[in-house]
Amino acid sequence: MLPFPGTARCNESVPEALDDVVDLVGPRLRAVRTQRGLRLTEVADRTGISKSTLSRLETGQRRPTLELLLPLAHLYRVPLDDLVGAPDVGDPRIRLKPRRVNGRTVLPLTRHPDGVQAWKIVIPASQSTPQPRTHDGYEWLYVLTGRMRLVLGEQDLVLEVGEAVDFDTHVPHWFGSTGEGPAEVLSIFGRPGERMHARATPRHDEPAP
């Protein structure tokens, strides 16, 4: 059985292209599950797919099939094409590949190494231990989902969904999860550039009335 609908055998490059698509399904499944804040056990209970099968799908040890992907797409409420990375017919856009970087899923949104760089970053709940660093440039962070902790110099901040911050990266900094759950963040880096409006809540302060 073919793993995906519409698979063609028009030339010798198709098997290689199909392998490239299949290799990316696992990281996408893991990223979406992390974004939804679900454990493998919860997904297994709600889809009827065993936890071991789900784990092997995410690590690339199990080849994805429609029987496995359809219930996952339904549970995660995402189109099947988003899981397999299938471009629209005639779509000229280039789909950039997500990758794992220091335990985080990083999707580059820009193609060129020079100029402004943008990424979408999925931070797991386990990424909650600060490891400040410094480098040249400015960075902008915008929280898409979850809550993000930012350590910036002597400040310890928490950003909620819809909040943004920008800072000089010469200042020791680190951003990650609050430990309560995963977070999805848009990161834009440039040297130099205009700053975005910063709005954040101190980590230890009480909520404003």
Instruction: For each of the domains in the chain, give its residue range(s) and CATH number, in order of start.
Output: 14-84 (1.10.260.40), 99-202 (2.60.120.10)
8 A C-beta contact, residue 86 and residue 21:
yes
Distance (Å) of CA 148 to CA 85, 185, 189? 27, 8, 17
Q: What number is the average pLDDT over the span 106-113?
A: 75
The pLDDT, as a whole number, for residue 11 is: 43
Q: What percent of the chain has pLDDT over 70?
A: 72
The DSSP bridge partners found for residue 118 are: 188
How far out from the chain centre does Cα 189 lie?
17
Torsions phi, psi for 158 (to 5 deg): -125, 125
Report which DSSP code applies to 4: S
pLDDT digits (tens, 9 = 90+) for 9-42: 344 444 454 566 677 788 888 888 888 888 999 9
Q: What is the C-alpha separation between 116 and 97, in angstroms, rounded? A: 18
* 128 or 81: which leads in pLDDT: 128
Q: Are strands 138-145 and 117-123 parallel, antiparallel or unpaired?
A: unpaired
Mean pLDDT, rounded, of the chain? 78
| DSSP state letter for 170 | T
Q: From residue 163, how far is each of 33, 70, 136, 199, 201 by CA, in Å?
A: 23, 34, 24, 6, 9
Type of residue at 170? H
The model's pLDDT over 38-91, given as tens digits with 9 standing for 90+, comes to 899 999 999 999 999 999 998 888 888 888 888 898 888 877 777 776 554 444
E strands in the chain? 99-101, 104-108, 117-123, 138-145, 148-152, 155-159, 164-168, 173-177, 183-190, 201-202
| Helices 51-58 and 40-47: angle between axes, nearest 10 degrees | 120
